[in-house]
Amino acid sequence: MNATLLEVVGWVGSAVLVVSLLQTNLHRLRWINLVGCLVLIGYNGLVGVWPMVGLNVVLAAINVWYLVRGHRDRHDGRAYEVLEVAADDSYLRHVLRVHAADIERWQPGFVHDLGADDDCYLVLTGDETVGVVVVRPGAKGEARVLLDHVTARYRDRTPGEFVFGEHGPFRRRGYRLVRTPAGMRNPYYGRLGFLPEGDHYVLDLRGDT
Q: What is the pLDDT of residue 186?
A: 62
pTM of the full structure: 0.69
Burial 20-57 (b: 16+ CB within 10 A, else e): beebebbbbbbebbbbbbbbbbbbbeeeeeeebbeebb
Q: Are residues 82 and 171 in the same domain?
A: yes
Q: From 73, 89, 104, give the residue that closes a domain.
A: 73
Domain count along the chain: 2
Residues 103 and 64 in one domain: no
User: Do 198 and 129 belong together in one domain?
Assistant: yes
What pLDDT score was predicted for residue 209?
47
Are residue 106 and residue 124 in the same domain, yes or no?
yes
Closest CA to 67 of 2, 147, 130, 157: 157
pLDDT of residue 1: 64
pLDDT of residue 77: 56
Confidence at residue 59, expressed as pLDDT on a 0 to 100 scale:
95
Query: What is the domain-level CATH number for residue 148?
Result: 3.40.630.30
Range of the domain at 168: 77-208
Which pLDDT belongs to residue 138? 85
The kind and range of the H/E element at 28 are helix 26-47
| Domain co-membership, 102 together with 35 | no
Is the domain of 19 the same as that of 121? no
* pLDDT recorded at residue 207: 65
Residues 172 and 147 reside in one and the same domain: yes
Are 18 and 56 part of one and the same domain? Answer: yes
Block means of pLDDT (10 residues each) for the chain, length 209 residues?
81 91 83 94 91 94 87 68 92 93 85 86 89 89 89 75 77 84 72 81 75
